[in-house]
Chain A
Amino acid sequence: MEALKISPGFEKVMPQEYLELVEDGPYGRGLGVKDLGTFKELIEVHPLCAGCALGLSIRLILASLPNPENTVIVGTTGCNAILMPQVAIHNIHCLFGNQSAVATGLKRALRLRYPNTHKDVVVMAGDGGVVDIGLAPTMHSWFRREQFTTIMLDNEGYSNTGGQESGMTRQGVVVNMAPLGKKFPKVPLHEVAKVAGCAYVATATPARARRLGQMVRRAILVAREIGPAYVQIFCPCSTNYKFPPAESLKRAKETEITEYMVPEAKEWIERIEKGPKAEEVSNEA
């Protein structure tokens, strides 16, 4: 937290956005989705399409980080990547698909350098990046029980490259590269995650904002203490699925919200959440 101070005297020249981040940002304050609108968020503007459910999900994720001042986000190619330069915490743009490998190295490095502080590493990537091109490192990070969180922003296709079929596209849907309709079902990665070693698995929607926030927060806290965590967020894409932007949230509701925890994770979460003040989770390892 000491590091988050502007050198005395330079406050008068720092851009307003930074002054607000330091004075009224979420760093070290244990804020959450319920506090949105009362503090300076980690993202001010973004260049995503109108009605983008992914943009909204990222806003909710950023508001749910338990310790944003000690969080690094690892992402990959996709719509979210063009938003990431605007996010006010450190983040890495990887090659397409290697984000979980990069996150593995990063998390282990930070653990070596800061043995007494939890440095949360959060992979945030699209469905193509996670389930297709990045499946091997994603699953291997779970097999190895790497202690970071993987969040899939599932918009059921490659939106940034022009709307192609991904493993998460539903069967029968006609999109680019599936001219006769997709020939196999949506990959049940949340089920795979459970058998692959994740200690926490959830499917969420930005249409249920507080629940999403709770899941992201739980995932990160479980990843710290117990094992890998996976959160899959349904983010309908109005641009490539060609529906009115105003319908995004209505469509986003049409998904099942699920939550799975191994017993140790459940015990850990209960212990934290039943504490005197749930928001005060120590950042000390």
Chain B
Amino acid sequence: MSTLIGLPKNGYRVVPGPEAYLSPSAAIMGVVLPEEGQGLIEGEIVPQEVAMEEIANRLLSARNPMLFPGPLVLWAWSDKAVAKAKALQDMVAEVPGMRIIPMPDYRPKYPMINPEVEINPNHPNLTIWHNNIDVCMFVGVHCHFANLALKIVRAGTDCYTIALCGERGHEDAMITLRDVHAEEVRKITETIKRVKMGRVSCQKEE
């Protein structure tokens, strides 16, 4: 029987690419989704707080951190969506240089898409800003399309991917959290603030 915790036995890790002509799905490679209160870092199950800490570190270390909000948070279709959108914007404000490119829909756009303005899961590797985005975060993207895009990004770029999921999480991201709503986003923001403070005080000591 396969164990439900830890890394896949075959040693597969979900790490930045470019990985392959056609990357495998992490789920097929044995990566399993986290249970409640857990997250995934590069395919390994960790406590939620550890994943949050790593998210903060990755965002704060990035040259070009980018938020890709999807339709589930771009549209004010429920009170929860509005609250999560607000929390996300507060989070972005805490990360120096972090920008937002929306993913408003999942269609291939004719005649072309402008990667400066919007991202699209049907050709995300063309739209990771000419491969200048080194850390990106997916939020509010419908799970099916998030997984497609995350996998294609891993196949063709070296972008570090983070997916905050309102449901069960995404194995195809390098870091993922499940059950992320406004409150969890605020917790990430608090973690970012704390890590930032730590970095500043370290610098002072130096």
Contacts and interface: CB of A to CB of B under 8 A. Distances in A.
A284 interface: no
A45 B111 contact: yes
A219 B86 CA distance: 42
A5 interface: yes
A45 B108 CA distance: 13
Contact of A8 (B76, B101, B109): B76
B110 A47 contact: yes
A112 interface: no
A5 B109 CA distance: 22
Contacts of B73: 7, 10
B91 to A, nearest CB: 12
Nearest to A13: B100
A9 B104 contact: no
B110 A6 contact: no
A14 interface: yes
Given A7-B85, A10-B69, A13-B101, A85 B77 contact: no
Given A3-B76, A15-B117, A15-B118, A8 B86 contact: yes
A143 interface: no
Interface in B109-130: 109-111, 117-118
Contacts, number: 58
Contacts of A18: 104
A173 B74 CA distance: 51
Contact of B102 (A2, A15, A85): A15
B102 A14 contact: yes
Contacts of B86: 7-9
B81 interface: yes
A46 interface: yes
A86 interface: yes
A5 B75 contact: yes
Contacts of B101: 13
How many interface residues does chain A have, given as a range?
10 to 19
B81 A45 contact: no
A13 B107 CA distance: 18
B102 A9 contact: no
A8 B118 CA distance: 18
B61 interface: no
Contact of B85 (A3, A4, A9, A45): A9
B82 interface: yes
A85 B110 contact: yes
B74 A85 contact: no
B104 A14 contact: yes
Given A9-B85, A14-B104, A15-B102, A3 B75 contact: yes
Nearest to A22: B75
A252 to B, nearest CB: 24
Contacts of B109: 85-86
Contacts of B76: 2-3, 5-8
Nearest to B84: A7
B169 to A, nearest CB: 22
Contacts of A47: 110-111
A192 to B, nearest CB: 35
Given A2-B76, A7-B74, A9-B85, A45 B110 contact: yes
Contacts of B132: none
B89 interface: yes
Contacts of A14: 74, 102, 104
A8 B85 contact: yes
A69 B149 CA distance: 28
Contact of A10 (B74, B77, B108): B74
Contacts of A15: 102, 104, 117-118
Nearest to A18: B104
A46 B110 contact: yes
Contacts of A7: 73-76, 81-82, 85-86
Nearest to B117: A15
Given A7-B85, A13-B101, A85 B107 contact: yes
Given A8-B86, A45-B110, A86-B110, 16 more contacts: A2-B76, A3-B76, A6-B74, A7-B73, A7-B82, A8-B82, A10-B74, A10-B85, A10-B100, A14-B74, A18-B104, A46-B110, A85-B107, A85-B109, A85-B110, A86-B109
29 contacts: A3-B75, A3-B76, A3-B77, A4-B75, A5-B75, A7-B73, A7-B74, A7-B81, A7-B82, A7-B85, A8-B76, A8-B86, A9-B85, A9-B86, A9-B89, A10-B100, A10-B102, A13-B69, A13-B100, A14-B102, A14-B104, A15-B102, A16-B117, A18-B104, A45-B110, A45-B111, A47-B111, A85-B109, A86-B109
